[in-house]
Chain A
Amino acid sequence: MNRISIVCAALFGAAGLLIGPSIAQEIKQDAKSASGEAKVSPVTQAQLSAADKNATNFLLTNVNYAQTRFHPARQIGRDNVKNLHVAWIFQTDVKESLETSPIVVDGVMFVTTSFSHVYALDAKTGAQLWHYNHKMGPVTTFCCGPNNRGVQVLGDLVYLATLDAKLVALNAKTGDVVWKTDIADPELGYSETMAPTVIKDKVLIGTNGGEYGIRGFVKAYDAKTGKLLWTFNTIPENSVGVWATKDATGRDMHRDIQAEKAQLAKTGDPYQKLGGGVWQNPSVDLATNRIYFVVGNPSPDLDGSNRPGDNLYTDSLVSLDLDTGKYVCHFQYIAHDLWDLDAVSPTVLVDVKGKDGKTIPGVIHAGKTGHIYVHDRKDCSLVRFSEAMVPQENMWVLPTKEGARMLPGANGGVEWSPIATDPSQELAYAINLHQPMTYRVENSPYPNGKLWLGGAFTAIPGEKQSGNITAVNYNTGKIKWQVKTPEPMIGGILATAGGLVFTGEGNGKFAAYNSSNGKELWSFRAGAGVNAPPSTYMVGGKQYVVVGAGGNTQVNFRRGNNIIAFTLD
């Protein structure tokens, strides 16, 4: 948090007294309301598979299955972006954290809000076509806000995963529910905030819950019926691993291997309550039929005393066969994590230079540690890691009862925020947080689906927080440019063929930068935190850029309820 958000919190607190709870998160709770019908043609798999070449639509959460967040639209470029202005603003019914990636299909936009609402909008005017207000079950157990990061569309269905851990298929034209299925039991700590991934008649979904002692998974459902096809448990029954003592960058993690082995002999493998959530979409390699995703932290976050071993596959890159869900390979960044510096930001598939300088299919991930990791797609092995994008200090000091200072803080580095890439420049663009924290450890038994942190990570009062936008050459690991921001960055970034990157800040600033040198070319003040990934699309021959301005729960940025689209005259 920051100075501005304190003031905002104080103001909202005062307003709360005068106005009462009616201005709380949900402004109103309508049933499904339809202002019209969405005239949208069924989305084919061929369209989705070719999304990387589609300058008109924004079909997948991160533009394409490779998740490059590089969009081919180029009407808005470095020379004219200064003329960008608001085309329309749509106000949702929910004033709470907005993390949605707007999906656009032939002039129809689908956006989501906190508490799992979905809206279909006219992408040209912002007019509402329909609104799905999910009837939430009584039990929701979620970490980091009641967020939702979006939908995906296949055929004539829109797919949504909800805070109460259900998978819902909606009629794309009307917003009516076609089928609904339970993913997991929210009473045990499961919830959903990620967008599903649709691919080859399947809907892929991970889970939240690493702060609640779940056993994480990725599941595949039949897109037409909602029938479960396969489940991959992110925690294998043998989660012990190789007793790694160093992290991916070679730093000692100060593990007491003998003590862990003694604990293992005493209590056995802890796989059943070991966490391992999957917060973001997998990338899909259409050529090899494999998916790549990262797995989050072990449970409890800061106390490793009752979870001996490497805690596979927490804090790891994992690849599976798409058809069967069978394991292909993994790479663990931090074994036996005690800091919640896990792996959250979605993976990206790009060609990279291998260790011998030859071009190979690669997969990259931006970590909470502040490094961008580059892997060989064939076997998940690490090729290189980038320079640190944020200050690092005292890694990996063990958490103590009194609190041990270490940087980065537990939000990163790069949080769930998707990165963007521009393969023509060999650059990856990441937004980062800098939040000095202390790490404390406490011990308590598994609490039946309740918050289970094993301690606390707390921001150090008085220490300045900040953020940055960083461009990294993923073939050298060197930082090419970096723009400092006054507040920690969380939300996402988009690169376009117009030579631009777009991203927002918690103070409401939304800006475009020259993707080659980081020079700011345009900005806008949204009045609420811009903490969502932007999208872009064409309609009526004009390019638009759209982003949610709803603030953020996790870092407590000023809340709002606006979806804002920009265009040129």
Chain B
Amino acid sequence: MRGKLGWLNPGVVIVGVLLGAGATPAVAQGVAEKAEVCAGCHGQDGKPVDKTIPVIWGQQLGYIYIQLRDFKRADRKSGIMQPIVSSLEKDDMLALAEYFSKKPWPDLGQPRSPKDVAERALSADRSVGCTGCHLDQFQGDGTVPRLAGQSREYLTKTIADFRTRARGNNPGMSDLMLATPPDDLAALEEFLSGL
């Protein structure tokens, strides 16, 4: 995400700075009000304003909470997210996570993958066992995220970040992504985004 700073909506950065400076205690705000901050990047309608930003509407509650927690702990690095979450307490994070998890998953209009790509993706799944955690139809549960219909560009970026360990808050995922050939990962990204 750091690489995308130049693109970012300036309003979002300002809000982040304000929250980070503790201008308004996060705990005093209603969850919907707090969630307004997120809409600047993740979208007013759940469709992120940049394709490398993940869909969080309809995402699994536990997963969103853990990511917020990890941003605060700096286990997951992001120059944008860390200031935003710095003033959030656990209850705030859980409330935000619940709020977004109850929103409908947006249709990004990403195309279905062709048959040969789908077959390659499913072959990779069979080898690595993605559905062992992400579950049937890649819907996720608990602290495991939904992948079906996620932004392809985000999947590409975060998988690459897992491989370099730039995304360091799940070394198990890094290990699995490193064990998967790049061509298989490309097929998975295309296949999953089209579900």
CB distance from B121 to the nearest CB of A (A): 9
Task: Give B106-134 as 1s and 0s: 1 = Cβ < 8 Å from A's Cβ atoms.
Answer: 00000010000011001101111101110
CA distance A450 to B63 in the complex (A): 12
Task: Give A1-18 as 1s and 0s: 1 = Cβ < 8 Å from B's Cβ atoms.
Answer: 100011001101100110
CB <8 Å contact, A136 and B175: no
Complex partner residue of A447 from B65, B105, B136, B169, CB under 8 angstroms:
B169
Complex partner residue of A456 from B73, B141, B148, B176, CB under 8 angstroms:
B176
CB <8 Å contact, B122 and A454: no
Interface window among A34-42, A138-146, A273-281, A374-382: A138-146
Does A455 reach chain B (CB closer than 8 Å)?
yes
CA distance A559 to B136 in the complex (A): 8
CB <8 Å contact, B118 and A448: no
CB <8 Å contact, B61 and A138: yes
CB <8 Å contact, A13 and B175: no
Measured between beta carbons, the chain A residues less than 8 angstroms from B131 are 9, 553, 556
How many of B's residues come within 8 Å of A, CB to CB? 49
CB distance from B94 to the nearest CB of A (A): 6
Measured between beta carbons, the chain A residues less than 8 angstroms from B136 are 9, 12, 24-25, 96, 551, 553, 556, 559
CB distance from B2 to the nearest CB of A (A): 21
Measured between beta carbons, the chain A residues less than 8 angstroms from B10 are none
Complex partner residue of B132 from A24, A115, A553, CB under 8 angstroms:
A553
Measured between beta carbons, the chain B residues less than 8 angstroms from A460 are 127
CB <8 Å contact, A453 and B127: no
CB <8 Å contact, A146 and B141: yes
Does A149 reach chain B (CB closer than 8 Å)?
no
CA distance A553 to B61 in the complex (A): 21
Complex partner residue of A444 from B73, B139, B148, B171, CB under 8 angstroms:
B171
Q: A554-B132, A556-B129 are in contact. Are A451 and B142 (CB under 8 A)?
A: no
Does B172 reach chain A (CB closer than 8 Å)?
yes
CA distance A551 to B132 in the complex (A): 12
CA distance A458 to B129 in the complex (A): 8
Q: A146-B135, A556-B129 are in contact. Are A451 and B179 (CB under 8 A)?
A: no
Measured between beta carbons, the chain A residues less than 8 angstroms from B98 are 138
CB <8 Å contact, A138 and B127: no
CB distance from B55 to the nearest CB of A (A): 12
Q: A10-B118, A141-B142, A448-B75 are in contact. Are A553 and B171 (CB under 8 A)?
A: no
CB <8 Å contact, A456 and B179: yes
CB <8 Å contact, B75 and A456: no
CB distance from B34 to the nearest CB of A (A): 17
Measured between beta carbons, the chain A residues less than 8 angstroms from B66 are 139, 187
Task: Give B89-104 as 1s and 0s: 1 = Cβ < 8 Å from A's Cβ atoms.
Answer: 0000010011000000
Does B43 reach chain A (CB closer than 8 Å)?
no
CB <8 Å contact, B128 and A458: yes
Measured between beta carbons, the chain B residues less than 8 angstroms from A447 are 75, 169-172
Measured between beta carbons, the chain B residues less than 8 angstroms from A454 are 175
Measured between beta carbons, the chain A residues less than 8 angstroms from B125 are 1, 9, 556
Residue of A nearest to B194 (CB): A17
Q: State the A residues within 8 Å of B (CB).
A: 1, 5-6, 9-10, 12-13, 16-17, 21, 23-25, 96, 115, 136, 138-146, 163, 187, 211, 403, 440, 442, 444-445, 447-448, 450-456, 458-461, 551, 553-554, 556, 559
Known: A10-B119, A13-B118. 5 other contacts (CB 8 A): A9-B122, A17-B195, A23-B137, A140-B141, A458-B129
Which 4 A/B pairs are nearest by Cβ-Cβ distance?
A451-B172, A140-B142, A444-B171, A456-B179
